[in-house]
Chain A
Amino acid sequence: MAHASSEDIRKHVKVYFAVFAALAFLTVLTVAVSYLHLPLPKAILVALVVASIKGALVATFFMHLSSEKKIIYAILLLTVFFFAVLLLIPVLS
């Protein structure tokens, strides 16, 4: 990314502001939904789906994961796998 031309960067900047708008919208959305007092399973589903979308937006665009090198994907894949293993702990108990 560091070697993109200034022209490319200018395009990125537009994307950053679009992502910001999406993040702000999703934040308001998830708070609004919480005031509906959905039953807990549904509330968890909505909250986590919205949070995952927001997280994915940050990771993809702000952290440039949309175009990253293979090694970094490999390390993250490994991390995600072991993260999932960590979440086995509540299941085990």
Chain B
Amino acid sequence: MSAEIRYISKPHPVSGLTNSKLGIWCFLASEVMLFGGLFSAYILLRTSAVEWPQGASRLNVPLATLNTLILIISSVTMVMSWASLAMKEFGKYRKYMGATVLLGFLFLVVKSFEYGHKFSHHHFPSTDMFYALYFTLTGLHGLHVIGGIIVNLYFLFPGSALWHKDPEQFTGRIEAAGLYWHFVDLVWIFLFPVLYLL
């Protein structure tokens, strides 16, 4: 009786997109505006401050550089997990996706060392505007990483059953998850110089 919802696994003939791909891009557009609001706030608060400490004088640049590299590598493994599915190699997908999840956790571990170090020196969000922005921006980014890890874990274990039913749809989902993960990487690429280097 009920008609199926179309364009779940096959793209729409005119738009050329599946529902999930269009949906994830709309979501990312809203994310751009979210971080846009925060960057805007950062610029306003920084330019109106009497003085502003250089990031490197307060924060651990080598550790953050390591974290940047971790996220970049995880982006590569993420895109490789999608490419493996596109090449119909499910075993490889699992390895790459597993690596992505582990790298995500590694990023959080490094981040928590950084936070712990700050807290042990009594540097809190309430200390001054620099730390307020540092903790808020990296904290919100961290939440996005956690969200990504949860999604990726889902697709690594229970969600991957779909591969055997509808490989095309599953590949599309991994592409969408990948787009989100790359976006999280992209935000960090801007956060890193803004907070640590300038």
Contacts and interface: CB of A to CB of B under 8 A. Distances in A.
Interface of A: 1-4, 6, 9-10, 12-13, 16-17, 19-20, 23-24, 27-28, 30-31, 34, 40, 43-44, 47-48, 50-51, 54-55, 58-59, 61-63, 69-72, 75-76, 78-80, 82-83, 86-87, 89-90, 93
B169 to A, nearest CB: 10
Contact of B15 (A12, A27, A51, A69): A69
Contacts of B69: 24, 27
B53 interface: no
A26 B88 CA distance: 33
Given A4-B86, A16-B79, A31-B61, A43 B197 contact: yes
Interface of B: 11, 15-18, 21-22, 25-26, 29, 32-33, 36-37, 39-41, 43-44, 47-48, 56, 61, 65, 68-69, 72-73, 75-76, 78-80, 83, 86-88, 168, 171-172, 175, 178-179, 182-183, 185-186, 189-190, 192-194, 196-198
B193 A30 contact: yes
Which of A54, A62, A76 gathers the greatest number of chain B CB atoms within 10 Å?
A62
Given A16-B79, A16-B83, A34-B61, A89 B17 contact: no
B48 to A, nearest CB: 7
A12 B44 contact: no
Given A9-B87, A13-B83, A40-B198, A34 B56 contact: yes
Contacts of A70: 16
Nearest to A30: B193
A36 B69 CA distance: 21
Nearest to A7: B87
A17 B80 CA distance: 10
Contacts of A89: 40-41, 44
A19 B189 CA distance: 14
B175 A2 contact: yes
Nearest to B31: A79
A46 B187 CA distance: 18
Given A6-B88, A34-B56, A47 B72 contact: no
A12 B47 contact: no
Contact of A24 (B17, B72, B175, B183): B72
A25 to B, nearest CB: 11
Given A54-B189, A58-B75, 14 more contacts: A2-B18, A3-B11, A9-B83, A9-B87, A16-B80, A20-B72, A27-B72, A31-B61, A31-B197, A34-B61, A55-B186, A62-B75, A62-B182, A86-B37
